[in-house]
Amino acid sequence: MDGQAQGQPVPAFLWRERGVIPFLKVDKGLEAENSGVSLMKPMPSLDALLARAVKLGVFGTKMRSLINLPSQEGIAAVVAQQFEIAAQIAGHGLMPIIEPEVSIKSPDKAGAEAILLAELTRMLDALPDGRRVMLKLTIPDVPDFYSALTNHRSVARVVALSGGYTRADACKRLAANHGMIASFSRALTEDLNCSMDAVTFDAAVARAIDEIYEASTVKV
């Protein structure tokens, strides 16, 4: 974020010259699991970081929590923490991505998703007029399960994390969820390794991007 590209801060350069909207990861990692979830660690320097990000041309932020079990208490705490920090982020004029990841290894993933949907809806309904957030969610077991969120007045975009699914599986699941687009990292890079030459590497990245783009835009 603090680097320079052609005399501009890297975030500003990416946005103005390359059309890449810059987001900043702000969380400091996860606390130990409690009540079936892992909250985010404290971020005591967040305001200073956000002020720097604004000056350098960053558009928004992301921050990740983890849900392992369908715990009402735990999931409510995850969502409350995410929205509390999102309000702090929005206060700096940045777009917060709220990311309460449901583990694909959860023994009751669908149950956790049902609780998460209810908690997200409750918190979104309480946001002041004009406040918008993005949501980054694990692809649900039930297609279009989060469709109400994609249409919520306070949601700018719902994006999907791949969560450890293979790219083929993640793309198949994503294509069944209307209004949801990809924000994959693990699935994007699964075929890449440091021994590849530049041509092979570029071809693998291009192939992955094409597959993920199609799953984001061509729905079944």
- Which positions are catalytic? 99, 136
Q: Give helix then strand counts, H and E, for the chain.
A: 8, 9
Q: Where are the beta strands (DSSP E) in the chain?
A: 4-5, 8-9, 23-25, 37-38, 60-67, 95-102, 133-138, 155-161, 180-182
Q: Which residue do the tokens 């409750």 mark?
A: 122
Q: Give the tokens for residue 129.
A: 């007029």
C-alpha to C-alpha distance for 127 and 129, rounded to whole angstroms: 7
Q: Are 133 and 96 in contact (CB under 8 A)?
A: yes
**What values do phi and psi take at 203, rounded to 5?**
-65, -40
Q: Give the tokens for residue 19.
A: 């059309």
Q: Which residue do the tokens 């209004």 mark?
A: 179
| Strand, coil or helix: 38 | strand
**What values do phi and psi take at 127, rounded to 5?**
-70, 145
* DSSP run (H or E) holding 75: helix 72-90
